[in-house]
């Protein structure tokens, strides 16, 4: 190869601000694109800001100069082919490659920003952590290209675009090549030297076939340049530069904020022997991520897509579940005096959230129970419960921000889908505390999907295309192809960054394979195994509602119910009834949020009853007029359990806040209200013994009220014998047992011998996360202690008032 050929192969590329313009003025329109202004010009091509009138968007249009080297045409087409197969957040995508009157052009996404080369001119040295964070995105783009057998071969600062969101994007795949697997392979390398002097690897400088290690070397050079503040090969002559890189090691000076660990990573990437470098771009990514965060263990916390999201989260509060108020609310899950007061204060800090929550609790669903308007956040907390407020906060703020996006219709559907699955999962869990966990688990199984739709709408649209029709891929596989990681990985990685509970993170992952044919042990894997299957079942029931109408919908729901029923210990009828009830509650919530759906929107199926006409609340949420003579929701009859519980709650709340009754009388009052409202056989209140080793019976109502308390003694430390009472108190979980015979082996001997109720309810009382009391309630016949959602919330609120009474000095 002659020197002119080598020089042209190395440096005959379009450069920022270099080169001469071809003769004649360019047209003002190319194809359907209107040229607006020149963005940059090189020796062979010019890049324009153009407007696409068909799609009403600005694009970047790369126009081959009239006097360009004819060999550029093949590279031009090569760039179009290479970019068209790469769909990744850190790659500038190509929209179109075509000719207009013999004039070749490429159309790219227009990203407003500067190149890394321009950035380094104004700030030659970057802080180490900033440089590494930027390089993680570049390496992730390279890993995606290498996975498809594409080597960039011309990686350099001028080919890295920094968008306004801070995300680095690799561009200019004009001389990209397929990895050559062996001699004689189709398209074998012709021995040319291709690349840019100063960034070219030793083996590329020798004309060897393209391999991913060449891009790893160039990445090491760029990182070293960012850290040292100057180009690593201090050689201006391109021919001498390609000679020296083959015989001399590149290095970076010690000092500044570059420690020895980071320096070692850069030097490994710069090794002249490709076998001594990182074997893949992903391996270099992992090493840098570990340096950046020594506690990092998996891809979940280091992937560039995830890094982009977390960086966006830190600097912008546009995705609602990331707001500081909601995150703090997530942590306030106790029910003692301090937590109630602190939660109310936290909500009041956010005016928008306060208004939304008060509007929600003043819907007919709650005012029918209380009989009056709710005007204070503290009363809303008492009525709805801490976890209920937490779930509302997530849902309300999420929807409010999503409506600000241009693709609001799709986002509304995704949001309602997640909310329906969450509501359904909660309805299928009779225990109140676990129902709250089920709500979040089912909703957050969709977190990666929601984040993708919110931040990567084009990729999300492509995912939907790949998951439809013949040869459809799974959503997770499509996401891995386009984003570089699965939706579960994305969601769990963000949840980990938010500091959400470990068990919730585990429950967020979709279980694989067919649902078990036998009932899942509810205690397996800290209860997460059942939660995973429950969330998946709820999501598939929701998809059946979304994807079908009429008879086809009923058949699809039945198929899903039969598949998941055995694993969840529920028959198909129970699952279908829960789905019908969840629709009514979702319609009411949508109405409270002011959410309306466009005619024909698939999500309207989630708000309508499958047969016999839609529920009036569903009609209103879906934008339909209510039928004449039908109220938005039925009024509750006087003397119903809900009215009695609500009235009793207000009496207890007034006594606690006004200190009109001593604590002991308040506790008796709570038991009496529960006994009368739920028609109990008996109710018992337990508190700590003087030694603090057990919860013992103190007061009771109903049958055997005088003798029953003496039978109760719940140890605060789990022993070797099965003790369901002790386990529930230790976990701080509420439990409703419909049939006591199903849990008989786990019941303590004292209970089996002295009480042995056919159905009972356990409500632990916690202070600062530790059990200090227990409310026990039972009925005389199995399967008769059934509580609806609102009843459970009011019972919990009474339990919280008991906690307030116990906390009084």
**Which residues participate in catalysis according to the annotation?**
154
Beta bridge pairs of residue 700:
684
Helices (H), 374-431: 377-384, 386-402, 408-427
The Cα 182–Cα 201 span in angstroms is 20
Neighbours of 592 (CB within 10 A): 22
Q: Spell out the SS3 assignment of 257-305.
A: CECHHHHHHHHHHCCCCHHHCCCCHHHHHHHHHHHHCCCCCCHHHCCHH
* CA 385 distance to own-chain centroid: 25
φ and ψ at residue 772, rounded to 5 degrees: -125, -5
Q: What is the CA radius of gyration of the chain?
A: 32
- The crossing angle, in degrees rounded to 10, of helices 238-247 and 3-11 is 90
The answer to whether 170 and 152 are in contact (CB under 8 A) is yes
Neighbours of 728 (CB within 10 A): 21
Q: What are the b/e assignments for 665-674, b being 16+ CB within 10 Å?
A: ebbbbbbebb
The answer to whether 369 and 790 are in contact (CB under 8 A) is yes
Q: Who's near 781: CB < 8 A, 6+ residues apart?
A: 758, 759
The answer to whether 220 and 269 are in contact (CB under 8 A) is yes
The answer to whether 133 and 167 are in contact (CB under 8 A) is no
The Cα 642–Cα 368 span in angstroms is 9
The Cα 13–Cα 465 span in angstroms is 36
Residue 501 CB-density burial (10 A; 0-12 exposed, 13-18 middle, 19+ buried): middle
The Cα 306–Cα 309 span in angstroms is 5
Q: What angle do CA 502, 342, 325 make, to 5 degrees?
A: 60
3-class state of residue 489 by DSSP: helix
Beta bridge pairs of residue 340:
none
The Cα 467–Cα 90 span in angstroms is 23
Q: What are the b/e assignments for 365-388, b being 16+ CB within 10 Å?
A: bbebbbeeebeebbbbbbbbbbbb
The answer to whether 665 and 394 are in contact (CB under 8 A) is no
The Cα 48–Cα 61 span in angstroms is 5
The Cα 566–Cα 807 span in angstroms is 43
3-class state of residue 38 by DSSP: strand
C-alpha distances (whole Å) from 677 to each of 187, 318, 367, 626, 795 are 81, 45, 18, 33, 10
The answer to whether 239 and 6 are in contact (CB under 8 A) is yes
The Cα 452–Cα 320 span in angstroms is 14
């Amino acid at each position: 190869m002659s020197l002119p050929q080598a020089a042209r192969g190395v440096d005959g590329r379009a450069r920022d601000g270099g080169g001469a313009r071809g003769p004649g003025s360019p047209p003002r329109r190319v194809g359907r694109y209107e040229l607006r202004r020149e963005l940059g010009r090189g020796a062979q091509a010019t890049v324009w800001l153009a407007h696409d009138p068909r799609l009403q968007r600005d694009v970047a249009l790369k126009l081959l100069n009239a006097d360009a080297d004819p060999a550029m045409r093949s590279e031009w087409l090569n760039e179009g082919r290479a970019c068209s197969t790469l769909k990744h957040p850190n790659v500038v995508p190509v929209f179109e490659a075509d000719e207009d009157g013999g004039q070749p052009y490429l159309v790219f996404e227009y990203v407003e920003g500067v190149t890394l080369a321009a950035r380094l001119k104004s700030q030659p040295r970057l802080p180490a952590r900033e440089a590494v964070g930027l390089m993680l995105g570049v390496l992730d783009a390279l890993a995606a290209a290498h996975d498809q057998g594409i080597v960039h071969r011309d990686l350099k600062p001028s080919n890295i675009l920094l968008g306004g969101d801070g995300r680095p994007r690799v561009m200019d795949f004009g001389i990209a090549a397929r990895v050559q697997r062996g001699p004689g392979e189709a398209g074998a390398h012709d021995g040319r030297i291709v690349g840019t002097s100063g960034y070219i690897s030793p083996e590329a400088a020798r004309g060897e076939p393209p391999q991913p290690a060449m891009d790893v070397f160039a990445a090491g050079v760029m990182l070293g340049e960012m850290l040292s503040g100057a180009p690593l090969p201090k050689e201006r002559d391109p021919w001498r530069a390609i000679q020296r890189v083959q015989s001399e090691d590149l290095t970076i000076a010690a000092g500044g904020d570059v420690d020895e660990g980071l320096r070692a990573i850069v030097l490994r990437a710069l090794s002249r022997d490709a076998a001594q470098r990182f074997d893949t771009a992903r391996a270099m990514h992992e090493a840098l991520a570990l340096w950046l965060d020594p506690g990092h263990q998996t891809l979940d916390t280091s992937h560039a897509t995830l890094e982009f999201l977390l960086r966006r989260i830190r600097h912008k509060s546009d995705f609602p579940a990331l707001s500081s108020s909601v995150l703090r609310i997530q942590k306030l899950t106790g029910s003692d005096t301090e937590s109630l007061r602190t939660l109310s204060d936290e909500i009041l800090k956010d005016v928008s959230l306060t208004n939304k929550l008060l509007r929600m609790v003043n819907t007919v669903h709650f005012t029918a129970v209380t009989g009056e308007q709710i005007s204070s956040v503290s009363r809303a907390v008492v009525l709805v419960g801490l976890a209920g407020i937490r779930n509302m906060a997530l849902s309300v703020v999420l929807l409010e921000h999503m409506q600000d996006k241009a693709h609001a219709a799709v986002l509304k559907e995704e949001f309602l889908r997640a909310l329906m699955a969450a509501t359904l999962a909660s309805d299928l869990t009779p225990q109140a505390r676990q129902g709250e966990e089920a709500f979040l688990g089912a909703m957050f199984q969709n977190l990666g999907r929601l984040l993708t739709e919110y931040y990567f709408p084009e990729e999300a649209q492509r995912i939907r295309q790949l998951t439809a029709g013949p040869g459809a891929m799974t959503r997770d596989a499509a996401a891995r192809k386009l984003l570089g990681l699965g939706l579960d990985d994305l969601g769990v990685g963000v949840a980990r960054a938010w500091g959400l509970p470990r068990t919730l993170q585990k429950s967020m992952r979709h279980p694989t394979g067919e649902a078990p044919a036998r009932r899942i042990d509810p205690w397996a894997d800290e209860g997460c195994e059942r939660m995973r299957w429950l969330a998946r079942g709820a999501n598939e029931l929701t998809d059946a509602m979304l994807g079908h109408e009429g008879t086809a919908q009923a058949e699809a729901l039945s198929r899903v119910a039969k598949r998941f029923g055995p694993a969840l210990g529920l028959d198909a009828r129970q699952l279908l009834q829960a789905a019908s009830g969840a629709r009514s509650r979702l319609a009411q919530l949508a109405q409270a949020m002011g959410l309306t759906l466009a005619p024909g929107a698939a999500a309207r199926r989630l708000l309508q009853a499958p047969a016999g006409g839609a529920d009036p609340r569903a009609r209103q949420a879906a934008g339909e007029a209510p039928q004449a003579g039908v109220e938005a929701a039925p009024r509750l009859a006087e003397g119903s359990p809900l009215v009695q519980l609500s009235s009793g709650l207000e009496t207890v709340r007034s006594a606690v806040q006004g200190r009109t009754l001593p604590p002991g009388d308040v506790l008796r009052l709570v038991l009496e209200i529960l006994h009368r409202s739920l028609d109990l056989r008996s109710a018992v209140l337990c508190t700590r013994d003087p030694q603090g080793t057990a919860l013992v019976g103190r007061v009771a109502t109903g049958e055997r009220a005088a003798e029953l308390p003496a039978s109760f003694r719940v140890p605060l430390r789990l022993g070797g014998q099965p003790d369901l009472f002790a386990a529930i108190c230790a976990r701080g979980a509420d439990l409703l047992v419909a049939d006591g015979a199903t849990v008989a082996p786990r019941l303590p001997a004292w209970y089996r011998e002295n009480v042995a109720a056919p159905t009972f309810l356990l409500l632990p009382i916690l202070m600062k996360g530790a059990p200090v009391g227990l409310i026990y309630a039972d009925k005389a016949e199995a399967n008769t202690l059934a509580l609806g959602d609102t009843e459970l919330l009011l019972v919990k609120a009474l339990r919280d008032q008991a906690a307030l009474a116990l906390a009084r000095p």
